[in-house]
């Protein structure tokens, strides 16, 4: 199979390329012309900046049997998020329409598209959970990822020869992306402010995410389906940080009670209302933005197994061991860059 991976030089993209090559696919990575990244394996490169309308891209797409759309921006301003997540996707879809492309399109969405604020604590979140009804109140990433998924469904749903598969990963992690937004906040190097502690985090080990994406590109039963990507038995914040501290004794965890955080955030929200919006708090202190990361939910992860016969190749325990091998084997500093990444 000939596969094109947009965002193939990124964190998840590199693992997906390796997975597809292991399955015998011929892989081409779409990269910005200005990118300094160099491919270490044998796949080709298609130079294209999707943020700008490509004039000749349509002709280049005909040869591909499958397209994996991973391009996304997280932790950026609204303009960059919109250009990378929405405008770039629209340009790609325009090119597919012009080319009359036919094949399997695997779109990587996100858990951020779900209307988590509207769910009661303890609710089981699965692929049938309603999407966010008020995206304008969420952060730039959630807002633009929801627009992106809607755009993909509307445009590709009108193309009879295209098989669309949507995959919504939770928080993707690995050795190179240890800090997760759902933990709380990093305070410099080796310090984490933990909001709560007992909340299960919908984590998905990066190799498991890549394996599911590749399966969705190959398995005929995936056509037209939506799959959540979350590892079984997700760890709580406290369990995740325990594994981290065992690997890195320098790591300091500062617990912050969730009820205190919520009390502070709501007080600031009321102050904003009284000021007519002139004293808006940072996103970190806006309840509607943060609650999706802090709400205790259950996660049904059975759909991919039931429909595709797929199982995560890396167990939860092994994933944690690979992520936190030992203090002598890896750099364990907390990275603000990682903290802003959700894909």
- Count: domains in the chain: 1
Active-site residue, 141 included: yes
Residue 278 lies in a domain: no
Q: What is the CB neighbour count within 10 angstroms for residue 200?
A: 18
Strand partners, 203: 171
* Both structure tokens of 292: 């999706």
Name residues whose C-beta falls within 8 Å of residue 47's C-beta, 6 or more positions apart in sequence.
30, 31, 32, 33
Q: Identify the pLDDT of residue 282.
A: 82
Q: Please determine, for residue 341, whether its predicted confidence score (pLDDT) is greater than 80.
A: no
Within a domain: 92: yes
- Reference 93, options 50, 145, 60; nearest CA is 50
Q: Is residue 276 part of a domain?
A: no
* 166 or 79, higher pLDDT: 166
Report whether pLDDT(271) > 50.
yes
The answer to whether 20 and 217 are in contact (CB under 8 A) is yes
Any domain includes 240 = no
Structural domain contains residue 339: no
Displacement of CA 129 from its chain's centroid (Å):
17
pLDDT band of residue 92 (cuts 50, 70, 90) is very high
| pLDDT for the residue 186 | 93
Domain with 309, as residue range(s), is: 2-176+203-233+298-316
CATH number at residue 101: 3.40.50.720
pLDDT, tens only, 21-59: 999 999 999 987 766 455 454 458 887 878 777 778 898
- Catalytic residue, candidates 68, 141, 173, 181: 141
34 by Cβ neighbours in 10 Å (0-12 / 13-18 / 19+) ranks as: exposed
Q: Note the pLDDT of residue 53.
A: 76
SS3 217: helix
Q: Are strands 298-299 and 124-125 parallel, antiparallel or unpaired?
A: parallel
What pTM value is reported for the model? Answer: 0.91
Establish if 8 belongs to a structural domain: yes
What mean pLDDT is reported for the chain?
Answer: 89
């Amino acid at each position: 199979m000939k596969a094109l991976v947009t965002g193939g030089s990124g964190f998840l993209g590199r693992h997906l390329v390796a997975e597809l090559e292991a399955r015998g696919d011929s892989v081409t990575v779409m990269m910005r012309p200005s990118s300094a990244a160099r491919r270490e394996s044998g796949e080709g490169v298609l130079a294209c900046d999707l943020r700008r309308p490509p004039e000749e891209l349509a002709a280049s797409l005909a040869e591909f049997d499958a397209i994996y759309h991973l391009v996304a921006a997280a932790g950026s301003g609204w303009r960059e998020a919109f250009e990378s997540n929405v405008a770039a996707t629209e340009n790609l879809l325009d090119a597919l329409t012009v080319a009359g492309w036919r094949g399997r399109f695997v779109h990587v969405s996100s858990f951020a598209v779900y209307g988590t604020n509207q769910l009661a604590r303890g609710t089981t979140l699965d692929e049938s959970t309603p999407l966010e009804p008020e995206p304008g109140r969420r952060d730039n990433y959630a807002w633009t990822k929801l627009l992106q998924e809607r755009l993909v469904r509307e445009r590709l749903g009108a193309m009879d020869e295209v098989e669309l598969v949507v995959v919504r990963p939770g928080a993707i992690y690995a050795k190179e992306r240890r800090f997760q937004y759902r933990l709380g906040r990093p305070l410099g190097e080796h310090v984490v402010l933990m909001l709560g502690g007992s909340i299960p985090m919908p984590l998905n080990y990066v190799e498991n995410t890549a394996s599911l994406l590749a399966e969705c590109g190959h398995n005929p039963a995936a056509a037209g389906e939506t799959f959540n990507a979350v590892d079984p038995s997700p760890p709580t914040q406290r369990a995740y940080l325990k594994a981290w501290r065992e690997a890195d004794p320098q790591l300091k965890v500062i617990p912050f009670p969730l009820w205190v955080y919520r009390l502070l955030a709501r007080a600031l929200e009321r102050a904003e209302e009284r000021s007519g919006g002139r004293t808006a708090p940072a996103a970190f202190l806006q309840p509607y933005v943060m609650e999706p990361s802090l709400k205790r939910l259950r996660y049904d992860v059975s759909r991919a197994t039931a429909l595709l016969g797929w199982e995560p190749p890396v167990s939860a325990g092994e994933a944690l061991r690979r992520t936190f091998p030992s203090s002598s084997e890896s750099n364990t500093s907390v990275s603000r860059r990682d903290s802003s990444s959700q894909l």
